[in-house]
Amino acid sequence: MQSTFSQKITLSDIDKDDRSDINFEIIGKMNSNVLIYKNMRWKHRITVLDNEMKELENIKLDFLPEKTFNVDFVSYPDYFFMIYQYQKKNILHCMSVKMDALGKKLAEPVEIDTTQISFFADNKIYTSISSENKEKIMVFKIHKKNDTYTLATKLYDKQFSLLSQHRQALNFDERRDAYDNFSVDNEGNFIFTKETRDGNRSTSNQLSLILLSAVTDSFTHVKIPLDKNFVDDVNIKIDNLNGRYIINSFYYKKNRGNVDGLFTGIWDKINNKP
């Protein structure tokens, strides 16, 4: 007789405080505990479960201001950082707080940055990303005004100590340009893509890779040759092991035509060439 082993699935009990409009994010597994962030309107909690999915803690994050949103996490084996923003009148505050494997504060929240905005402006301007090995954390904000795209970045290490900060302005045509795929590699280099199209209803016919080195103050623009093709659904993958940035997308021979195949472009960051 042969026996086989299958995956064990364990379900947690129903939490009476959870509702249908709940938003949640699995922070990660730390010291054999599973931490889950839960948000309902302006209420924020962290639920801590053990290996058997039994609830150990259900912590209300009372230190968060009422209008807190845009919550992100960077987790490590025995602690994590919660990065969040809140609005008070016309001022946006971006904050970080270090917490342990039981969802308790290890230190008081620290203010990363503030921005004054107008009444009707978009208030979700801060974004946080981390490198694959989580040795580098990048917090950046984007401000669009007229034909200018202002990008302010702050690079931190895994203890959230500031390593560098930069502020750069880029040309931006809202009808034609799209910046996307913001990423940071293990060395702290910041990269993203820029697509340009002929008009609102066109597919992109120009593609660039934009790089901000961890040791320089200005952007490097790398034009990706498309050979008169069009691209859509552009994605970027950082190959930290081999020092490469890999760009993938669908490509079209005709504007707004059928997909003709997959496009791949590779940038060798070590030798600074395709």
- Average pLDDT over the chain reads 91
Q: What integer pLDDT is reported at residue 244 of this predicted model? A: 97
CA distance 149 to 170: 5
Domain boundaries, given as residue ranges, for the chain: 15-119, 125-274
Region 24-35: what's the mean pLDDT?
Answer: 94
H or E segment to which residue 2 belongs:
none
Question: 47-64: per-residue pLDDT in tens?
Answer: 999 989 999 999 999 999
CA distance 111 to 95: 4
Q: What is the pTM of this model?
A: 0.89
CA distance 135 to 76: 10
Q: Choose the weakest-confidence range: 14-18, 23-27, 194-198, 243-247.
A: 14-18
CA distance 110 to 41: 23
Question: 156-197: per-residue pLDDT in tens?
Answer: 999 999 999 999 999 888 888 999 999 999 999 999 999 998
* 8-state DSSP, 12: P
